[in-house]
Structure 1
Amino acid sequence: MRPTRSSLLPVLALAVAAPALLAAPPAQAQNFFERLFGIKPERPPVPPRGLPEAPPAPLPGGGGEPGQAPAPETPRAPPAPARPVVLKAPSEEGVIGQDLQLNGMSGSLKLERTGTAVTARITLPGTKISQPAESCTVPLGAGSPVTLNPEGKPEGVPRYEAAGAECPLRLDVTEGGILVSTLGSGPVCTFSAADCATTPTGLWGPAPATLLPRASEFDTARGAADKAVRDNYKLMTQRARREDVRPIVTEQAAFSADREQFCRSYAREGTHGFCHLRFTENRALALATRLGANTAVPTATAAPRSRPRPKPAVEGLNPDAAGGGDNVPE
């Protein structure tokens, strides 16, 4: 059968368009064949109806409905200002009537209360001027009570002064002891008539035999006192003017050396640590006072926490076994 002209038209059109189709993108070539041969393309899928539409994204800034202005943010309260760390201040009532010794081993100091007045019986230890290898003692006021003048709490603890004594002294109360310094031109008081030179500066406190059983208690309390000193120094540098920061930093750097020099002569100090603790507590209170804190209201404590009481043994349990009382014998 001889092909007709109408049947040859698609073939001729294909032959003419072949070079262009080879260079055309696949999508255009497919459309050409569909129109040429009358192929109807499949209809695109219709999305299902009735599905809920996603809600519009909220506007930045916490606004409610689209198109509305964002709600104003709630202002945050400013951070609370840092406060000085205040340890519990000692009271003179804790040392009145106690027999105290310089560095826990020589001399004697005893505070006494008569009505509202506080007096002291003090015997200073020293060495002979003529023979420095020999020791000596000098009772102030010929052994009679020495009048003490109350000076308030200029550094957070009770302070007394014996300005009229042969050896003028300053007494700062600490817990279980008294920090003594001289009011004269130097730390040494010389008694020519008694051929004795004394150096009363130091911590007057109990003998080491009464302190050794409390060594762990002192060590725990010292950690809290050290932290109070660091925190108060840090607060001082934050509040100080730029030109006043350097002296504060210098003072803080010298604190450990000052404490070591002050406490190195206390008997058995390396074993119990009593002097280091009391020196640190008084320094923390002095810093808090300089920061304007009310030392009558402590905000922290250097006392160790009480240990929990052991649970009573339960019959049938072995408290010494690993895991405590959870092991039940078979």
Structure 2
Amino acid sequence: MRTAPLDIMIQEVAPRDGLQIEPKWVETGDKIRLINSLSTIGFGRIEVSSFVSPTAVPSLRDAAEVFAGIERRPGTIYTALVPNRRGAERALAARADELNFVMSASETHHRANMNMTHADSLASLAEIVKPAHEVGALVNATVATAFGCPFEGVQPFKKVLDIIKRYLDLGVDGITLADTTGMANPNQVSQLVAKTLIVLPADQLTLHFHNTRGLGLVNALSAYDTGARRFDAALGGLGGCPFAPGATGNVCTEDLVNLCHEIGLTTGLDLQRLIDLSFRLPGLVGHEVPGQVAKAGRPLDLHPIPERLRRSV
């Protein structure tokens, strides 16, 4: 049983953010088995699925069936992404422990992603929080494209902070800053995280990075050094956004765990078990996945000395 507090909390999003963009249909039973395996590894949060239009995201059209089939581990929060009140009602009916509401800082991206204005989405969020709290569910609100938008470019800090204030005024339990298309850099991350932590405790802030331009781990480390303690990641580095041109995978869970362990941060997660589970992903999605540690092995996994060198000793 875990007793000491963790240095960093890594939250698994592969079942939702990882699979949403996959063209190959992943069977409901396979999704359930993946989530159950992740649960046994000990994640504090797992994003299970998304209650959005099946036309918009057909790969997750079985969200209710997946929630009904998973084995819930005590101590793990099972999250569902919701875009509006209807999605929230479906997620609560499926007994999601937490609703993850998403609105982009960029109104252009938000219209492309959700077909809603900021005003529309904030009105929806206002309708979601109370019903969720009445049944004991948490509400997390995400600021997508918080660091940059493929249509509008870099988003001003003030714009992001204004959205955070609106979220807090509506009574959300946590906030995520998402680098939806991997446009963030470490300096920008440090500045926005520092400004956010003035108005929000570290245990209520999550950082969600994509590795589109190879800066995912660097940005995560920058956020940690600035005071952030909660991070989303996806097994194997799966994922992307179907409504953001060029968006590729999330920060890879096993790569992030390896980084943390190498610099002495406790995660509560078994790296070898993550690697073993990551090996199963190509068979699930039909292609190789971008994670690096699963390919190279842990740094402590040394290779035998070549025979010719052993003979010369």
TM-score higher than 0.5 here? no
Greater helix share, 1 or 2? 2
Class of the TM-score when normalised by the shorter of the 2 chains:
under 0.3
In the superposition, the TM-score normalised over structure 1's length comes to: 0.25
TM-score by length of 2: 0.26
